[in-house]
Amino acid sequence: MRSILTFVGGGDRDEVVLRTALAVAIPLSAHLDFLHVHVPAAQAAHYGGTEFASGAALRNALDRLETKANAFSDLAAEHVRALCASAKIEMCDTPTNARSVTASFRQAQSNAPERLTFHARHSDLIVMGRARQRQGLAPDTLEHLVRNCGRPVLVAATAAPQTLTDTVMVCWNDSSNAVRAVAAATPILATAGRVVFVSVAERDDGVTDALDDLARQLAWNGVSAEVRVMPASRRGIPGALAAAAEECGADLVVMGAYGRSRTRELVFGSRTEALLDGNDRPILLMH
């Protein structure tokens, strides 16, 4: 896991996202590929409340959006430079030192989901903010990337972390998404001081034995893991997992994401979204 694509919006949440990316890059000696999406006014207008404007009002609205887009671009570049200066990170297009963190900054000219997915697929890990931002990206950008890019996505919390690897909690339900999440996160788990696998089950039904077997397999890869099986409760699975993360003091939560079909999510709700809403910790998602 050497290439980390980090979305930088040019807004007030950049500091948290940048520090989250740095926290995961340090133990991996990874390259931080900072990407700002410079959204043209015509594209930003789709999410800027200009749908009822016309004539001079529309032109004025587009001018304001273009001015904001330019300001966001300038701020994004400034925030990246400030981080690299304070953390003494070398900025280079191609990493030259495999034993230290390096960084680069670039801009994309389209917020089309397909283009963002293209950028994401060419990296080992994606880091982005959790809350919906105002720099012209579609409201469902996070979900789209998680579902379609085939790469793990690390979603920042509301505060910058000091570390992500003192304690890592892995949410386990024996699904294919959970398997892919563990595989994707293994380089991070290998650097963690403590790894805790947590499963929520109405009854044990062999869950503990399955987790113990998983822990043995990880031990072969140099990862020592604890296992916990929690009973289901009225809080539901997302609530139980959030409580478990609080109890073990997790710096990072790893989970398989969007395992339900869209139809079931419409009827029963999304457990991924519920955990994102109810657990203010960095979360690594893998679909």
Write out pLDDT tens, residues 247-275. 999 999 999 998 655 544 433 347 788 88
Q: Are residues 227 and 124 in the same domain?
A: no
Residue 153 identity: V
**Last-in-domain residue among 128, 153, 178:** 153
**Pair 136, 182 in one domain:** no
Residue 200 neighbours by CB under 8 Å, 6+ apart = 173, 229, 230, 231, 232, 237, 240, 241
Residue 160 belongs to a domain = no
User: Domain containing 108: what range?
Assistant: 3-153
pLDDT score for 266: 39
State whether 118 and 252 are in the same domain. Answer: no
> 211, 205 in Cβ contact below 8 A?
no
Domain shared by 59 and 86, yes or no: yes
In a domain, 55, yes or no: yes
Question: Same structural domain for residues 67 and 127?
Answer: yes
Q: Are residues 108 and 202 in the same domain?
A: no
The C-alpha atoms of residue 213 and residue 210 are separated, in whole angstroms, by 5
The average pLDDT across 177-193 equals: 94
263 within domain boundaries: yes
Shared domain for 88 and 215, answered yes or no, is: no
221-242 tens-digit pLDDT: 889 999 998 887 777 888 899 9
d(CA 272, CA 251): 18
Please state the domain count of the chain.
Answer: 2
Domain boundary (153, 183, 206) is at 153
Residue 140 has pLDDT above 70, yes or no: yes
pTM: 0.88
User: What are 125's two structure tokens?
Assistant: 């890990």
Whether 73 maps to a domain, the answer reads yes
| Structural domain includes residue 142 | yes
Question: Which pLDDT does position 268 carry in this prediction?
Answer: 36
Q: Are 181 and 148 members of one domain?
A: no
Average pLDDT, whole number, for the chain? Answer: 85
User: Do both 135 and 191 map to the same domain?
Assistant: no
Let me know whether 73 and 192 are in one domain.
no
**pLDDT at position 264:** 43
Please tell me the distance from the alpha carbon of residue 260 to that of residue 150, in angstroms, as a whole number.
Answer: 17
Q: How confident is the model at residue 178 (pLDDT cuts 50, 70, 90)?
A: very high
Q: Is residue 159 part of a domain?
A: no
Residue 185 in domain: yes
Using 50, 70 and 90 to split pLDDT, how confident is the model at 55?
low
231 beta partners: 201
Residues 147, 192: one domain? Answer: no
> Residue 157: what pLDDT?
95
Q: Last residue of some domain: 101, 118, 153?
A: 153
